[in-house]
Amino acid sequence: MNSKEEEDQLSQCLKEKARAEGFNPVGIARVTGSSRIQLRNASLERWLEAGNQGDMKWMQDPKRKNIESLLEGVSSVLAVGLNYYIDQKPKNNALLIGRYAWGQDYHKVIEKRLKKVGRWLESKKKNCKWRVCVDSTALLEKAWAEEAGIGWIGKHSNLINSNEGSWMVLGFLLCTEPLTADKPSKPLCGICRKCIDHCPTQAITEPFVIDSNKCIPYHTIENRQPVLPENISKSMGRWIAGCDICQEICPWNQKNLTSSEDADMQPKEWVINLTKDQVLSWSDDQWKENLKNSSLKRIKPWMWRRNANSIKTTKSE
């Protein structure tokens, strides 16, 4: 077997190992990537210069534009998606929480599973160095996912896969081993602008550009001010944590999607049946208990109460 055949075989086995851990889709990109990576870096710079990041100062980390700073000698990127779509609806009048946070903390789930993949790779290539990255790492993650062929960046800025839609969280395994790259994804949004037109706060100011200062998820999760802006509170509907409107309206999410049977993605009972009375009456200790192993820990108890008090109605829409 020549070196190219060995590389192809290792790459295929690595992707199969990732699928065995519940990831789908999976793909590989080579560093430094195509010219589109540079275009995405330039787009990020313009986005930051416009102040679209709000108070999310970590978005300015220079490592985000230089993947080599995350792992010395990085040669390849394994990109994976984890489906979090559950074919279930909250009860009428329940407050709404972004689907990505219904189950266990996806950061921990992805990290644990990808570490198994990394250790497997190291067992095959003793000198291989690797690092797991999720969205808390300063990686230009959606650009590298697009480069690895697992989806394209939609006009709502979420990654879309033609088979799985956009209901997936992303993970990455950076490694020093040269692997066989997949073809980068081609954007398939076409002239559609449903996500733009249906955003209640006009946060999608132009295709692919989200102004966090106008975005409901940003304010319900990241905003640390005691009172939410009026334009946000009047547009929240029943969204107390996050907002899925731009994804719910996306045509790529209208087909018969696979409902995840992954145990870690199944919704916690309180998450899909949350009432305003509960939010306001639970003690800080009760909130601490509820938020164990949840990606919603960023929302402090006082913020849950602030968000609930900002919601104008809990009537069924």
CA–CA separation, 179 and 121 (whole Å): 11
Burial (CB count within 10 angstroms: exposed 0-12, middle 13-18, buried 19+), residue 66? middle
**Phi then psi dihedrals of residue 259, to 5 deg:** -80, 125
Q: Quick check: helix, strand or coil at residue 125? A: coil
- Is-catalytic flag, 135? yes
- Maximal CA-CA distance, the chain: 67
Q: Catalytic residue, from 8, 105, 135, 262: name it.
A: 135
Residue 268 CA, distance from chain mean position: 19
Query: Would you say 311 and 236 are in contact if contact means Cβ atoms under 8 Å apart?
Result: yes
Query: Which amino acid does the sequence have at 50?
Result: A
Q: What are phi and psi of 46, to 5 degrees?
A: -65, -40
Question: Are the beta carbons of 204 and 189 closer than 8 angstroms?
Answer: no
Structure tokens given for 122: 């190291």
d(CA 245, CA 239) in angstroms, rounded, equals 10
Percent helix, percent strand, percent coil in the chain, to nearest 5? 40, 15, 45
CA angle, 315 as apex, 314 and 317 as ends, to 5°?
Answer: 115
Active site residues: 135
